[in-house]
C-alpha cells in the first residue's frame, strides 16, 4: 500500500504516546522519533477490547467516537509505514487473514478541523460486551467511561 500522499496517522491504541502496555513499545519509540504529535482527534466508530490492544470499527451512523492522536508523518515515510504495517500484521508479507487493515479516513481534530489520515481498523470478530464505552483505550484492561468533549492543552494547530 502506498503511503506517500497521506501526511498523517491516527493512533488509538498501543501506538498512542501515552499507552500503558509493553505491546508496541518499540514501535511507539520509533513513531515518537520519526513523526511529530499534532493533536488529539476522533472519528465516528466503536472501539473494542480485543486482547492486549483495542480494535476499531468505523460506524458512520453512530454517535459514538473513537478517540486518539494525530501524528504528522515524516516526508520520507515509506519505511516507517512499512514497519507499522508489519507490527499491525497487515504488511504484504504478513500471514492472512490480517487482523488489521490500514485505511484512509477523515479524522476530526479537537479544534473541529478535519484531516485525512491513515488508521488501522480491526478485521476480526468482536464481542458486544468487549466494547470500550467512551471510545478511549488506556491500556490492557483499562478503559475510560467519561466525556471527552474538552480539548486537550497539548493541542497544536495543523499548518494549512
Average pLDDT of the chain is 83
Phi, then psi, of 88 in degrees rounded to 5: -80, -5
Q: At 55, is the pLDDT very low, low, confident or very high (cuts 50, 70, 90)? A: very high
Q: Is the pLDDT of residue 78 over 70?
A: yes
User: Spelled out in words, what is the top-level CATH class assigned to the domain 8-144?
Assistant: alpha beta
**So what's the pLDDT on residue 75?**
84
Q: Are 56 and 66 in contact (CB under 8 A)?
A: yes
Mean local confidence (pLDDT), 53-69: 92
Q: At 156, is the pLDDT very low, low, confident or very high (cuts 50, 70, 90)?
A: very low
* Region 140-146 average pLDDT: 52
What is the predicted pLDDT for the residue at 20? 66
Q: What is the DSSP string of the chain?
A: ---SS--EEEE-STTSTT--SSTTHHHHHHHHHHSEEEEEEEEEEEEEE-SSSEEEEE-TT-S-EEEEEEEEPPSS-HHHHHHHHHHHT-STTSPSSPSEEEEEEEEEETTS-EEEEEEEEE-S---GGGB-TTSEEEETTEEE-S---SPPTT--PPP-
pLDDT (tens digit per residue) in 100-122: 999 999 999 999 999 999 999 99
Q: Which residue has the higher pLDDT, 155 or 2?
A: 2
pLDDT on residue 157: 39
Amino acid at each position: 500500500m502506498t503511503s506517500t500522499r497521506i501526511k498523517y496517522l491516527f493512533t488509538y491504541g498501543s501506538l498512542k504516546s501515552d499507552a500503558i502496555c509493553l505491546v508496541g513499545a518499540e514501535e511507539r519509540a520509533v513513531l515518537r522519533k520519526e513523526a511529530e504529535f499534532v493533536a488529539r482527534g476522533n472519528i465516528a466508530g466503536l472501539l473494542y477490547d480485543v486482547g492486549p490492544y483495542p480494535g476499531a470499527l468505523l460506524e458512520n451512523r453512530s454517535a459514538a467516537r473513537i478517540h486518539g492522536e494525530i501524528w504528522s508523518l515524516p516526508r520520507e515515510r515509506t519505511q516507517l509505514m512499512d514497519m507499522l504495517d508489519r507490527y499491525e500484521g497487515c504488511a504484504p508479507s504478513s500471514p492472512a487473514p490480517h487482523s488489521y487493515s490500514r485505511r484512509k479516513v477523515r479524522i476530526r481534530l479537537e479544534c473541529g478541523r478535519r484531516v485525512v489520515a491513515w488508521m488501522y481498523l480491526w478485521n476480526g470478530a468482536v464481542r458486544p460486551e468487549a466494547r470500550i464505552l467512551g471510545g478511549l483505550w488506556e491500556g490492557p484492561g483499562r478503559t475510560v467511561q467519561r466525556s471527552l468533549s474538552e480539548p486537550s492543552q497539548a493541542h497544536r494547530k495543523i499548518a494549512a
